[in-house]
Structure 1
Amino acid sequence: MLIKIGELAKRTGATVETIRYYEKERLLPEPFRSEGNYRLYRESHIGRLQFILHCRTLDMTLDEVRTLLKYWEEPNRDCGDVDDLLDEHIQAVETRIKELKQLKKHLSVLRKKCDSETPAKSCGILDALADNSCHENLHETH
Structure 2
Amino acid sequence: MNIGDAAKASGVSAKMIRYYEEIGLVPKAARRGSGYRDYGEADVHRLRFIRRARDLGFAVEEIGELLALWSDRTRASSAVKAMALSHVEDLRRKRDEIDGMIATLEGLAACCHGDDRPDCPILEELATETAPVGPPPGPPRFGRPGGRAPQRS
Task: Tell me if structure 2 keeps the 8 A contact 1:109–1:138.
Answer: yes
Percent identity at matched positions?
Answer: 28
| Separation of aligned partners in 2, 1:101 and 1:137 | 8
| Separation of aligned partners in 2, 1:9 and 1:43 | 12
Please give the TM-score of this superposition, normalised by the length of structure 1.
Answer: 0.85
Are residues 127 and 51 of structure 1, via their aligned partners in 2, closer, same or farther at CA, if it must alter by over 3 Å? same
| Separation of aligned partners in 1, 2:66 and 2:130 | 45
The aligned residue for residue 116 of structure 1 is 114
Please state how far the C-alpha of 1:131 moved relative to its aligned partner: 4.2
- Structure 2: gaps spanning 5 or more residues: 139-153
| Separation of aligned partners in 1, 2:48 and 2:84 | 19
The aligned residue for residue 28 of structure 2 is 30
Are residues 137 and 74 of structure 1, via their aligned partners in 2, closer, same or farther at CA, if it must alter by over 3 Å? closer
The aligned residue for residue 9 of structure 1 is 7
Please state how far the C-alpha of 1:134 moved relative to its aligned partner: 6.2
Please give the residue correspondences for 1:1-142 in structure 2 after superposition, counting only pairs within 5 Å.
3-119=1-117, 121-131=118-128, 135=132, 138=135, 140=137
**SS across alignment from 2:73:** coil
Please state how far the C-alpha of 1:133 moved relative to its aligned partner: 8.8
Which structure has the highest helix share of the two?
1
Write out per-residue CA displacement over residues 103-137 of structure 1, whole angstroms, 9 at most, x where no aligned residue.
Answer: 11111122123233325x33342333234696498
Please state how far the C-alpha of 1:87 moved relative to its aligned partner: 1.2
Structure number with greater Rg is 2
Are residues 135 and 112 of structure 1, via their aligned partners in 2, closer, same or farther at CA, if it must alter by over 3 Å? farther
Are residues 137 and 19 of structure 1, via their aligned partners in 2, closer, same or farther at CA, if it must alter by over 3 Å? closer
| Separation of aligned partners in 2, 1:131 and 1:73 | 51
| Separation of aligned partners in 2, 1:84 and 1:136 | 30
Task: Tell me if structure 2 keeps the 8 A contact 1:23–1:29.
Answer: yes
RMSD: 2.2
How many equivalent residue pairs?
138
Task: Tell me if structure 2 keeps the 8 A contact 1:109–1:134.
Answer: no
| Separation of aligned partners in 2, 1:33 and 1:16 | 15
Are residues 64 and 27 of structure 1, via their aligned partners in 2, closer, same or farther at CA, if it must alter by over 3 Å? same
